[in-house]
Chains A and B, each alone.
Chain A
Amino acid sequence: MLTLLFDGVAYGMLLFILAVGLCVTMGLMNFINLAHGAFAMLGGYLTVALMQRYGVPFLMCLPLAFLASAVVGALLERTLYRSMYKKPHLDQVLFSIGLAFMAVASADYLMGSQQQIMQLPDWLRGRTELFADTPFVLGMGHYRLFIIAVCAALTLGLQYVLSATRFGSRLRASVDDPRAASGLGINVNVVFAATFAVGSGLAGLGGALGAEVLGLDPTFPLKFMVYFLIVVAVGGTTSITGPLLAALLLGIADVAGKYYIPKLGAFIVYTLMIVILIWRPQGLFVRLGGKS
């Protein structure tokens, strides 16, 4: 029982890290980036390649995955995405889904179509059981524990940056009213570019962390696009806490659903999403007062 909850939380945390970048670009910058998963895939492949071919330790790979995805994100933002900000949403969707397909094809070409297999260091492989032989037995895979720890730290960090630092307030100002913000001397372009890069970087980090649990093959961006969009749709796009709770809810519901009703397992998540969206079409958590 507790084990299930634990697995669900770990899964949810992972989804959150993967999707948070999308929340930022979609909610704050009002840009629909369906190619978001491609950045996650980049991080994942980079980690696998570094570990397998160059023997880089796993812990080193994580920041590298973040950096590489962020740099690629920043480059693409400069060259491709920028011109799409002002376009209608349909154009953005078509453009970014095209990018996603290109990423799938490139990954297939470069790395092959098979599932990538990652070898974790030994200290992350074990499993600890608490309260064994009681109904409340809690089995924790060390790797999942690690995921939860990393993701929780990141969430706190993000929350802090967004709500308590100068950059956070600039970002919020740029989003609420770009014209007024630039009038006040904020370089809106730089703020957006940095935000986009960090969002992509987080996706890359999520991909690196998730390669072990979620599997990694060239269809990754498309396979998880649905999950990202559910997190964003259910959580609302205007805060960090919304998507976090949505991701946790999704993770726990998915795991519990598959455990208790395996035959319906795949549907639980979607049913939940529909119910929530009927109940609150704007998502669970909506910040009032912003321009939307």
Chain B
Amino acid sequence: MQKRYFLSALMLGVLAAYAGTAVAEEKFKIGLILPMTGPFASTGKQIEAAARLYMAQNGDSVGGKKVELIVKDDTSAPDVTKRIAQEMVVNDKVNVLAGFGLTPLALATAPIATQSKTPMVVMAAATSSITQASPYVVRTSFTLPQAAVAMADWVPNNGIKKVVTLVSDYGPGIDAEKYFKDRLLFNGGQVLETLRVPLRNPDFAPFLQKVRDLKPDALFVFVPSGAGAALMKQFAERGMDKAGIKLIGTGDITDDDILGGMGDVALGVVTSHHYSASHNSPLNKKFVAAFEKANTGLRPNFMAVGGYDGMRVIYEAAKTTKGGSGDALLSAMKGQLFESPRGPMFIDVQTRDVVHNIYIRKVEKVGGQLYNQEFDTLKDVKDPGKTK
């Protein structure tokens, strides 16, 4: 008898708990998982600041529900990202997962998005294959092949025929090398040599000397942004610009976040990317000014714009679905076409990947500070990784 009382008490308790969650459902929860500490902390910092800025500008309720932003640090370790995502889905019952600073972090979380039917907005990671890892992934950052291919399209029309590539020997580097090389060969250019540098490489001297002796028209580079500064410095020190070799690459090497500290060696470097803080549009000017004001002068970089646009996609989808979740929310994200600080962008319905302009930029001094000045545009670049 007593056992039965206990059971019904338990049932009551469970029911009460259920009612409790039903009340909590009135919130629209965004689970933002970012690397806030460790070597990629700046990614997390930029995205979080951008997300908070978007909320400050657009209010904290959407589709009749109050928006709750839950930010967690995954220290850029994939297993931690996965665990946090699991907790957010099971305990916090988030409507959408977002963030993901690096490819492995996004890939580790993709199965959770699939199993729980939770849309997952990738705001930073840039490997092509991420959107294929789960049908619930939507990307608002960019893909590396987009930038690399755009550069390979631009190069042959601008007097550069022979190129040497130099990339850090890891996933994104090899991606950049492959897409750049294939497209350049297709466009009738020549790749004299493909150099891969160990990721923890202390000194670029021998590689640069090799490049110098090969005498290409340009050196295409993809290295993590910190190493990029060292590379540019040694490039200048070795007098390679004077030997007639141009330095080109994807925009990662002249990241807005650290470009200011690189000094004059970065001047004249030509890169291809989807966002520059100096992008000339009223929307971007407003975005940059608001971002710098809210973050004591920190300049937004492409990570910030990925986060900002990610929030935009989530907000609009929440508006359409009245704060919905799962498949409804996901399908409201697909096909969004809007003006971002980076320029026009579009979430492809088929691939759930971002389609946007890739700009060719050159580092110049504007008002005493270094900026990537856009001077050429390749319109509506789709991720070339998906066309095969």
Question: Residues of A at under 8 Å CB distance from B?
Answer: 3-4, 7, 11, 108, 112-115, 117, 119, 125, 127, 129, 139, 141, 143, 212-215, 217-219, 223-224, 227, 254-259, 262-263, 265-266
Contact = CB atoms under 8 A, between A and B. Distances in A.
Contacts of B205: 7, 11, 213, 255
Contact of B196 (A114, A117, A262): A262
Given A112-B41, A114-B258, A214-B203, A127 B230 contact: no
B178 to A, nearest CB: 16
A224 B195 contact: no
Given A113-B39, A215-B230, A258 B207 contact: yes
Given A7-B209, A141-B238, A217-B39, A115 B202 contact: no
B42 interface: yes
B244 to A, nearest CB: 15
A4 B206 contact: yes
A224 B263 contact: no
B379 interface: no
B230 A139 contact: no
A114 B226 contact: yes
Given A127-B237, A215-B226, A215-B230, A259 B209 contact: yes
Interface in B229-285: 229-230, 233-234, 236-239, 258, 261-263
B42 A223 contact: no
A248 to B, nearest CB: 15
A119 B263 contact: yes
A213 B204 CA distance: 8
Contact of A256 (B206, B258, B263): B206
B139 to A, nearest CB: 25
Given A7-B205, A212-B233, A213-B203, 18 more contacts: A11-B205, A114-B42, A115-B227, A115-B229, A115-B230, A117-B262, A119-B263, A141-B237, A213-B202, A213-B205, A214-B202, A219-B39, A223-B200, A254-B203, A255-B206, A257-B206, A262-B193, A266-B201
Question: Which has the most chain A C-beta neighbours within 10 Å: B205, B207, B234?
Answer: B205
B63 to A, nearest CB: 38
Nearest to A52: B261
Contacts of A258: 206-207, 210
Interface string B179-202: 000000000000001011110111
Contacts of A108: 37-38
Contacts of B234: 213
Nearest to B166: A262
Contacts of A266: 198, 201
A215 B202 contact: yes
A113 B237 contact: no
A125 B237 CA distance: 6
Is chain A's binding surface mostly helix, strand, loop or mixed? helix
Given A115-B230, A125-B237, A143-B237, A7 B263 contact: no
Of listed B42, B198, B200, B234, residue having the most chain A CB within 10 A: B200
A265 B198 contact: yes
- Residue among A115, A214, A223, A224 with the highest chain B CB neighbour number at 10 A: A115
A256 B206 CA distance: 7
Contacts of A257: 206
A180 B180 CA distance: 69
A188 B206 CA distance: 45
Contacts of B41: 112-113
Nearest to A258: B206
Nearest to A220: B202
B102 to A, nearest CB: 14
Among A129, A213, A258, max chain B CB count under 10 A is at A258
12 contacts: A108-B37, A114-B226, A115-B230, A117-B262, A127-B238, A127-B239, A129-B239, A213-B203, A217-B39, A223-B200, A255-B205, A265-B206
A127 B234 CA distance: 11
A54 B262 CA distance: 18
A3 B195 CA distance: 19
B261 A117 contact: yes
A139 B239 contact: yes
A96 to B, nearest CB: 21
Contacts of B261: 117
Contact of A115 (B226, B239, B263): B226
Contacts of B230: 115, 117, 215
Contacts of B207: 258-259, 262, 265
A61 B200 CA distance: 27
A229 to B, nearest CB: 15
A143 B196 CA distance: 25
Nearest to A217: B226
Contacts of B239: 127, 129, 139
A127 B37 CA distance: 39
B195 A262 contact: yes
Contacts of A223: 200, 202
Contacts of B202: 213-215, 223-224, 227
A25 to B, nearest CB: 22
Contacts of A143: 237
